[in-house]
Amino acid sequence: MSATTVNIARGLEDVIFTESSLCYIDGDQGKLYYSGYKIQDLAEYSTFEEVSYLLLHGKLPTRAELKAFSAALVAERALPRSLIRNIKAYPKTAHPMSALRTAISELGMLDPHEDEISPEGLYQKSLSLIAKFPTVVAAIKRSREGLSILAPRKGLSHAANFLYMSTGKVPSKEETKLMDVALILQAEHGFNASTFTAIAAYSTQADLYSSIVAAISALKGPRHGGANEAVMKMLAEIGSPERVSSWLAELQAKKGRVMGMGHRVYKAYDPRAGVLNKYAAEVAAKHGHSKEYAILKEVERQAGAIYNPKGIYPNVDFYSGVVYSDLGYGLEFFTPIFAVARISGWTAHILEYTKVDNRLLRPDSLYTGKLDVPYVPITKR
């Protein structure tokens, strides 16, 4: 093989390595479907529980199925005591994504059946992880803020309970809807970097927890899930809508990237950003976070003129921070909230991959090094 005969896909773009019926993205048209349903319909009419059921089962639940599924999630929400103790002892300076990665790793260690990979065992562990992610993230948040960790509260939906455990207040209907929408929009997105990482780990027959820890690690990066936090830092750097133009000129001069814009698959407006933009505008108008929103709109307008012709538009991370800030989360919790949503997609993909054909993932590279180099003893180098 030589460089002239091999087509190297550096970012694995356009490489199709499996089949999946979980998610369809039309990147040119800016369309997204979960198991055939339009993302806009799910965001408007559904709940995170319903969407998680859809992803795990491939169909929307009946009323009775949803009731049983939601009850199963509620039953799995609480954390082992020793994990709560340990979360309290995590350094307050640690990034919440590092704390989440550590906590999920601990959950695996505490599960006496960590390695079980029967379909029933995997499904049960998936439910348990979907249920526990909000409890873990809320516990990390409260512990960092020097507040007592709250136990999950029965009678609250997944989104409402997450908000309750995070803030100590039972949220309003509007706040719950806002969190539900954010979680629904981020629940699944095909073979993005974190899902692919989860599958790569799982393809070795590593246990579910290890695969999810791998996924959390990949989500942390600012080119992927970490972009929502990076957007907020970018807004702080810009400072005001009037500064957007000079900031953009500097960014272009150093060939930098506008965080929250651009996507490997979408070469049009990310439909999730469209939905979040609408909610962010409402939140900004109602609750006075209008400065951040105003800067974002200006970045979208001015950066759009430069980058839209190249297929670079706002992605899901562009407007989500305005929504999370409004719900009471600091910017370091934006990516953990993404993980609270994406755990459904990660586990659904692992369950699906097991059924399709759990084949070891192992790509190749074009070797560009030397061969048959004579070994020189260390004393002679």
Ligand X SMILES: O=C([O-])CC(=O)C(=O)O
Ligand Y SMILES: CC(=O)SCCNC(=O)CCNC(=O)[C@H](O)C(C)(C)COP(=O)(O)OP(=O)(O)OC[C@H]1O[C@@H](n2cnc3c(N)ncnc32)[C@H](O)[C@@H]1OP(=O)(O)O
Active-site annotation, residues: 263, 317
Dig out the tokens for 196 from the structure: 């692919």
Q: Give the number of residues written for the chain.
A: 381
The interface with ligand X within residues 32-51 (CB under 6 A) comprises none
Assess 257 for contact with ligand X (CB under 6 A): no
Residue 11 interacting partner from ligand Y, ligand X, none (CB closer than 5 to 8 Å by kind): ligand Y
Q: How far is the CB of 255 from ligand Y (least distance, A)?
A: 6
Assess 189 for contact with ligand X (CB under 6 A): yes
What is the DSSP code (8-state) at residue 314? B
Q: How far is the CB of 188 from ligand Y (least distance, A)?
A: 11
Position among 30, 134, 152, 225 found at the interface with ligand Y (CB under 6 A): 225
Task: Please compute Rg for the chain using Cα positions.
Answer: 22
Residue 23 or 156 having the CB closest to ligand Y: 23
Measured CA to CA, the distance from residue 191 to residue 341 in angstroms comes to: 15
Position among 31, 95, 177, 264 found at the interface with ligand X (CB under 6 A): 264
Residue 169 or 223 having the CB closest to ligand Y: 223
Site map for ligand X, 313-342, x if CB under 6 A? --xx--------------------------
Residue 267 interacting partner from ligand X, ligand Y, none (CB closer than 5 to 8 Å by kind): none
Q: How far is the CB of 31 from ligand X (least distance, A)?
A: 13
Measured CA to CA, the distance from residue 272 to residue 109 in angstroms comes to: 35
Size of the site for ligand Y (CB under 6 A): 20
Instruction: Estimate to the nearest angstrom the gap between the alpha carbon of 175 and the chain centroid.
Output: 20
Q: Where are the alpha helices (DSSP H) in 76-157?
A: 81-89, 96-110, 119-144
The interface with ligand Y within residues 177-196 (CB under 6 A) comprises 192
Q: What's the N-to-C CA distance of the chain in angstroms?
A: 32
Q: How far is the CB of 345 from ligand X (least distance, A)?
A: 8
Assess 31 for contact with ligand X (CB under 6 A): no
Element housing 38 (H / E): strand 37-38
Sign of CA pseudo-dihedral 250, 296, 288, 341: negative
Which residues, including other chains, have CB under 8 Å from residue 285's CB and lie 6 or more apart? none
Q: How far is the CB of 23 from ligand X (least distance, A)?
A: 9
Return the bridge partners of 32, or none.
25
Position among 143, 161, 176, 192 found at the interface with ligand X (CB under 6 A): 192
Assess 265 for contact with ligand X (CB under 6 A): yes
Assess 347 for contact with ligand X (CB under 6 A): no
Position among 263, 283, 334, 351 found at the interface with ligand Y (CB under 6 A): 263
Dig out the tokens for 249 from the structure: 């000129």
The interface with ligand X within residues 69-128 (CB under 6 A) comprises none
Measured CA to CA, the distance from residue 230 to residue 259 in angstroms comes to: 6
Which residues, including other chains, have CB under 8 Å from residue 151's CB and lie 6 or more apart? 78, 165
Please report where in the chains the tokens 């039309």 appear, as a residue: 26
Assess 142 for contact with ligand X (CB under 6 A): no
User: Which residues of the shown chain bind ligand X in the complex (CB under 6 A)?
Assistant: 189-190, 192, 263-265, 315-316
